[in-house]
Copies of this chain bind each other. A is one copy, B any other.
C-alpha cells in the first residue's frame, strides 16, 4: 500500500467540476475510474480544492493510495494515457502514508483573468471573462489589497455552503494588467489582460468569484475603491457584487509548507 501525491492541470470547460456527482463527468470521477483500472479495485481520490464546473486548474493536488506496487512515473504515464487530453497529470510522487491533499493543504493560490477590450483573443476565450468597457485597474488593485489579512469573508460566501467559520487569512490579493503579447496570441494595444491573484489559507464557496464580481463594480466606476471594505465589514452577501463566471478562474497552486512543497 503506497500513498501518492499528484499535481494536475486541467481545462475545466467540459466538466461539472472536480467533485464526482450523481450525473455528469467530473475530474475526480475520471481519475478514480482510471485508478480503478490501474489498481484493480476502487480507489478514492482526495483533491485539495473542489473546483466548480468550468473552473480550471494549473496546479490542483490530489492524493490516493494504491495496493499494487507501482512506480510514480508509471502512475503518471498510465493516468495520462487514460485521461482525456484536457486533464493532465504533471507530476506524481509517493507521499507519507497519512498524506491527504485537502486536509494537509496550508494555502492555495487562485487566479482570475479578465480580458478587457473590444475583441477577445480566440485562443484565450475559454480562460478569460470578457469585458468590453474599459476597467479602472488602479482602483481595482487598490481595493483588492484591503482583503489581505485575517477577515470574516461571509459577504463573499455563496449560498449552499456548510463552512463552520467564514474567517480566512489572505496573504496576497493583487491585480496586474498585462499587455497581451504575440506569444500569448493576439496583441492589441486597445486591450489588456487583467489578472487577479489571491492566496490564502482557505476559500469559501464561490468566494474568489464573488470578490471578482465586486472588484468589477469598482473597475466600472459604479462603486469607489473604499466600497469593498464596507462590503467585507457588512458580512452580508447581498452587499457584494455578482458572482463572476467560472471560466476566468483557475486554481494555480496548493502549498503544503516546507515538508511537501508543491509549486507549479
A124 to chain B: closest residue by CB: B123
**Contact residues, A184-214 vs B (CB, 8 A):** 184-188
A107 to chain B, nearest CB (A): 16
**Which residues from B are CB-within-8-Å of A87?**
122
Q: Is the CB of A183 within 8 A of B185?
A: no
Q: Is the CB of A187 within 8 A of B264?
A: yes
A111 to chain B, nearest CB (A): 9
Does A182 sit at the interface, judged by CB under 8 A? yes
**Which residues from B are CB-within-8-Å of A123?**
9, 11, 56, 127
Chain copies in the assembled complex? 2
**Which residues from B are CB-within-8-Å of A252?**
182
Summarize A's interface: helix, strand, loop or mixed.
loop
Q: Is the CB of A80 within 8 A of B119?
A: yes
A216 to chain B, nearest CB (A): 20
Q: Is the CB of A9 within 8 A of B85?
A: no
Which of B58, B59, B90, B184 is within 8 Å of A119, CB to CB? B90
**Which residues from B are CB-within-8-Å of A80?**
119
**Which residues from B are CB-within-8-Å of A68?**
none
Q: Complex formed: what's the CA distance from A80 to B87 in Å?
A: 30
Q: Is the CB of A119 within 8 A of B185?
A: no
**Contact residues, A214-264 vs B (CB, 8 A):** 252, 264
**Which residues from B are CB-within-8-Å of A121?**
9, 88
Q: Complex formed: what's the CA distance from A104 to B103 in Å?
A: 63
Does A138 sit at the interface, judged by CB under 8 A? no
Q: Complex formed: what's the CA distance from A83 to B120 in Å?
A: 13
Between-chain CB contacts (< 8 Å), 30 pairs: A9-B121, A9-B122, A9-B123, A9-B185, A9-B186, A10-B122, A11-B122, A11-B125, A58-B182, A58-B186, A59-B186, A76-B119, A80-B119, A85-B120, A85-B122, A86-B122, A86-B125, A87-B122, A88-B119, A88-B120, A88-B121, A89-B119, A90-B119, A90-B186, A90-B188, A123-B127, A182-B252, A183-B184, A186-B264, A187-B264
